[in-house]
Structure 1
C-alpha cells in the first residue's frame, strides 16, 4: 500500500512523491510553447503552465467524490483560535460563490471538471463538517503513519461527540500542531492522503494529514513565506494572514483535498501505470502558483497593499494555493495575477 503526498522543496527541478512503503521520484512538466484548441474554453488570459504531451493523466474507473463533500477536522495538539479561523475560512471559501476574483472557488472549478464513469462531476460543494480537538496529544507527540490512523479511530469512536462516519462524501483532515513530530515530516513530506484500514479504524475513510512546520522546517513546508538555509540571498515573502506555519499549511491542505476528491481510494484519476505509485492532479503542478511558475519560481503573484503575497481570495481572507492539473487542456491551471 502506498500513500500520495506533497512536498514543497523550492529549488529542485524534481519533486519527491512519497508513498506508504518507499519513495519514488516524480517529475514535473515544464512550460513550452505548445498551444491547445480548448484554451478558448477558459478565456484568453494565460492561466496555464507546465503543459506537456508526455503527461498521461487517466481515469482508472474508481470512485470520485460527486456528492457534497464534508471536511471533518481533527485538531491534534495545541492550536490558537486565530490559526483555526484561517484554515476554517479556507475550507469554507472553496464553495463561496461571491468571493472577489480570483477566488478559491475559481480554483476549485478546475477540480470540478473531473468526473466518474457515469459522467458525474466532482461536487461543487465543499463544506466544513464537525471538528474534534485532541489537545492532550492522546497518541503522543511523535506519530507514525499508522498511528495517524489510530488518531482518526479515536475521533470517530469517541464516547462524547464522535466525528460522524461518512465514507461516501466525508473527508477526514488531521492537522498536527507545530510541536508534533510525524514520520517523514520535513525530510520528505509536508502532508499526504490515503484511506483508513478497516483493521485499524473499522471503516474505509479517505483522509489527509497536514502538519504545521513553523518550528521544524518552515523553509521546506511553508515556502515561500520562509526559505531554506541552503539558498543564500533568497528572501521570504510576507504571508497573507500573518502566520507563516498556517499560511504554508493552507496550500498543502488544498493540494490534498483536490487529490482526495479526484482519487479518494487511489484508483481513479492519476498518471502512471502502477496504482501503487500514482502521480495525481496536484503533484503535477507542485511549486506552480501563477504564470511562469516552476523550479524555485512561484510564478506571477499578487502583492497586497500591506506587502502580503497571495494568488486567490477567500470569503474575507487571502491565500496562496498551488495550481492543479487541468486534464481538459493538459496544463496546470489556476487563478492568476495576470488575469487582472
Structure 2
C-alpha cells in the first residue's frame, strides 16, 4: 500500500463511510475492469495499518465527560415511536448488561480515555430528557439554526429541557424529511458546542440525521451501497429492519464517543488543529469487524433473519456500530474483534 493510500485511510475526515474505498483505490491502484467481482479480502487493511505508530492521538488538557453522562434528545420532525425505540434502546444499552459482544463492552474503549486528573470517561449514561419538536425552524436547518433548536428546547427559553453544563449532552435527531446543511454531501452527523452568543450557554451537542429517504447509500452504509459499488459489495440487512435508523445508530455512537472524549474540542484528538480534529471515531470510520477496511465492513455475525450486527443490546436488540481507536492497543478495536 502506498504512503498516499495509508495517509488517506488514516486521516480522511469522518463522514462518508465509502469514501475510504474511493480514496484508497484512487491512491493505490487502478480501478478493476468492469464486471470483475472482487473478493472481500481485496478491501481489507494490512496489519501495518490496523496497528499504526503513525497515529498521534493526543490529550490537549481539556475536559472529558467523567460524571454520569446525561443525554437530552430533541426529536426534530416527524418520528415514529418504533424508530425512537430503536435509538433509545441503543443508548440504554451503553450502561446495561447484554450478551457478548455487547454495546456496553463497545463503550469500554471510550472509557480508556481520561482527563488530566486520571479520571476515566463515565460508564454511566442515562436519557435525562426528551423533547419533540415539530419543525419549529422549518424543514431545512443549518449549523446555526440547529443551535437555535437547542435554545428553544431549554426551560430558560420556555422549553422543557434543563440547562445541564456538567455531564449533559444534547442530541438533535432529524427525521428523514429534514434537510441539514452539508447532509449527505459532507456530513452524516457532527458534534460541537453551543455558542453562548446564540444559546446563552456553552453545551456539548450533536446532530444526526435520518438518511433513509435522502442518501441511505451514503449515511446508512453498509445497509445500502452506492450504485457504482453494487457489482463488488452487496448491502447488508439491517438488524432492526429500518435502514435509515439502523444507519443512524453507528453515527450516533460515533458522535457520542467523540462528544465524551472531546466535548469542547480541546481534549482528545490527533493533529494540531482543533478546527479540524481527527477524533477517536474518525480513525475507524467504516470498520465494523475483523478484516475491515476500504469499504469492506469486516467479518460479521448474522441473526436468524440474515441481518448483520456486531453488538447486542437490551431487550434482545442487535446493532451495527463502528469500531473506535483504542489508545492502549493503538489500533481500531471493537468487542467483536476476536469473533
Q: Do these two structures clear the TM 0.5 threshold for a shared fold by scoring above it?
A: yes
TM-score after normalising by structure 2: 0.87
Alignment partner, residue 329 of structure 1: 329
- Give the CA deviation at 1:160: 5.6
Give secondary structure in 1 for the equivalent of 2:192.
strand
Give, in whole Å, the separation in 2 of the partners of 1:297 and 1:202: 44
Alignment of structure 1 residues 1-340 onto 2, 5 Å: 6-9=15-18, 11-13=21-23, 31-33=45-47, 50-96=50-96, 98-135=97-134, 137-157=135-155, 162-233=160-231, 234-316=233-315, 317-336=317-336, 338-339=338-339
- Give the CA deviation at 1:8: 2.2
Give, in whole Å, the separation in 2 of the partners of 1:308 and 1:337: 18
- Consecutive unaligned residues in structure 1, runs of 5 or more: 15-29, 35-48
Q: 1:202-231 CA distances to partner (integer Å, 9 max, x unpaired)?
A: 100000000000111000000111111222
- Give the CA deviation at 1:164: 1.1
- Give the CA deviation at 1:7: 3.2
Give, in whole Å, the separation in 1 of the partners of 2:185 and 2:77: 21
Q: 1:78-98 CA distances to partner (integer Å, 9 max, x unpaired)?
A: 0000000000000000001x2
Range with bigger deviation, 271-280 or 114-123: 271-280
8 Å contact kept, 1:83–1:246? yes
Q: CA RMSD in A?
A: 1.6
- Give the CA deviation at 1:329: 1.5
Give secondary structure in 2 for the equivalent of 1:303.
coil
Give, in whole Å, the separation in 1 of the partners of 2:318 and 2:102: 9
8 Å contact kept, 2:152–2:159? no
- Give the CA deviation at 1:129: 1.4
Higher strand share: 1
Q: 1:53-104 CA distances to partner (integer Å, 9 max, x unpaired)?
A: 11000000000000000110000000000000000000000001x2010000
Give, in whole Å, the separation in 1 of the partners of 2:122 and 2:333: 19
- Consecutive unaligned residues in structure 2, runs of 5 or more: 1-12, 25-43
Give secondary structure in 2 for the equivalent of 1:120.
coil
Q: 1:249-292 CA distances to partner (integer Å, 9 max, x unpaired)?
A: 00000000000000000000000012222100000100101111
Give secondary structure in 2 for the equivalent of 1:329.
coil
8 Å contact kept, 1:191–1:208? yes
Return closer, same or farther for 1:176/1:33 CA change in 2, 3 Å cut-off.
closer
Higher helix share: 2
Give, in whole Å, the separation in 2 of the partners of 1:58 and 1:338: 27
Number of residue-to-residue matches in the alignment: 305
Alignment partner, residue 25 of structure 1: none
- Give the CA deviation at 1:235: 2.0
